[in-house]
Structure 1
Amino acid sequence: MIEKHLQKLLLQRRGKFMIPASLVATVNVNNSLDHAFLVLTKDRYAKIIVVDNENHYRGQLSLAMITDRLLETERINVNKLNELTVADVMQTNTPVIQDPFDVEENLRLMIDQSFLAVVDHQDQFCGIVTRRELLKAVSYTLHEFGKDYEVMPKKQSDNE
Structure 2
Amino acid sequence: MISIPKDDFQQIFVKDLMISSEKVAHVQMGNGLEHALLVLVKSGYSAIPVLDSMYKLHGLISTAMILDGMLGLERIEFERLDEMKVEQVMKEDIPVLKLDDSFAKALEMTIDHPFICAVNEDGYFEGILTRRAILKLLNKKVRQHNR
- The residue aligned with 1:5 is 7
Q: Distance in 1 between matches of 2:56 and 2:9?
A: 31
Deviations 1:81-122 (A, max 9, x none): 111100101001110010365111111111111111110111
What amino acid maps onto 2:55 in structure 1? N
**Structure 1 residue 43: Cα displacement:** 1.4
- The residue aligned with 1:32 is 32
Q: Distance in 1 between matches of 2:84 and 2:100?
A: 33
Identity %: 35
Q: Which has the larger radius of gyration?
A: 1
- The residue aligned with 1:66 is 66
Q: Distance in 1 between matches of 2:44 and 2:120?
A: 27
Distance change in 2, residues 1:140/1:100 (3 Å): farther
Distance change in 2, residues 1:82/1:100 (3 Å): farther
Conservation of the 8 A alpha-carbon contact between 1:40 and 1:63: yes
Distance change in 2, residues 1:40/1:100 (3 Å): farther
Stretches of structure 2 lacking an aligned partner (at least 5 in a row) = none
Q: Distance in 1 between matches of 2:107 and 2:144?
A: 19
- Superposition RMSD on alpha carbons, in Å? 2.0
What amino acid maps onto 2:32 in structure 1? S
Conservation of the 8 A alpha-carbon contact between 1:100 and 1:118: no
Q: Report whether the alignment pairs 1:133 with 2:101.
A: no
